[in-house]
Each structure stands twice: as C-alpha cells, then as structure tokens.
Amino acid sequence: MVSLLKFQSKYSASKTWQAKHRGFTLVELVVAVAIIGILASIALPNYLDYVKKGRRAAAQAHLMDVAQRQQQYLLDARSYAADLATLNITTPSDVSSYYTITMEAADAAPPTFKVTATPTGTQAGDATLTLDNAGTKTPAEKW
C-alpha cells in the first residue's frame, strides 16, 4: 500500500509539472498564424494607400514651389519661364522617383503656364496633378 501511494504521488507530481511546461499544439500555432495573416491582409493595403498619399503630397508641394517661382520670374522678366532649368529648380528625388514633372508656358497676352506631375512606377495608378497660373488645381479631389 505504501509503494502504491508513493507511485501515485510521484505520478501526480510529474503530471502537474507536465501541465505547467507543455508547449503549443499545432492547432494553436495554425490559429495564431491565421490571425496574423488576416490582420496583415487588412493593414497592408491601408499602409500602401498612405504611402501613395504621402508621395502625392510631396509632388503637390513641389508643384506649389514651381508656381511660386514662376510668379517671381513673371515679376522680373514679364513672362513665364519655359522650363524648370530657367527657374533654377531641380525636382527632389522623392518626387522624381514617382512623378515626371513637365511645364508649359505661353507668351500670349496675358502669359500663362501649366505645371504637370504625371505619376510613374509604383505611383502609376494615381491621378495626374496639374497647377496653372490662375492657381487652378486639378483634379480637385486629389488636392
């Protein structure tokens, strides 16, 4: 009887040790990976959308800088500059990597200009941004 009690106490002590130190089951790991996958599939498109909006904001800031320099050039030369080199402006690398900046100037009466940012590369699905001498920004919903 004493040996049976020793065996039971030894068995119950090792069972509680195993219960405290057992690992994860395969089912628990699969559920955790599935939850992480679902969260990632929701978060990744939102993150990419915010990155695209950030790049668009950088392009918009550059277009505004070009428009301001055009207005200064008009005061000095009585016409708008034909290109960015005349204005002594270089397109920042964070803009030039994702947008092609072009400028049109007409020496009509009154003189006009239009600056365009055309998306390229990973930004290609975005809208083409334009800004003219009257301050008209198109498309309006992207500004």
pLDDT value for 22: 74
Tokens of 114: 């239009």
Domain assignment present for 16: no
Do the strands 99-106 and 112-119 form a parallel or antiparallel pair, or are they unpaired? antiparallel
Q: List the CATH number of the domain containing 135.
A: 3.30.540
Domain assignment present for 104: yes
pLDDT value for 20: 67
Number of domains the chain contains: 1
d(CA 127, CA 114): 16
pLDDT value for 44: 94
Domain assignment present for 60: yes
Domain assignment present for 19: no
pLDDT average per 10 residues of sequence, the chain (143 residues): 56 61 86 96 93 94 96 93 92 94 90 95 89 94 90
pTM of this prediction?
Answer: 0.74
**Domain interval for residue 52:** 26-142
Q: Which of 88, 82, 89 is nearest to 105 (CA)?
A: 82
Domain assignment present for 20: no
Domain assignment present for 18: no
Angle, CA of 129, 108 and 141, to the nearest 5°: 20
Domain assignment present for 12: no
Cis, peptide link before residue 92, omega less than 30° from 0: no
Domain assignment present for 134: yes
Per the CB < 8 A criterion, the answer to whether 51 and 57 are in contact is no
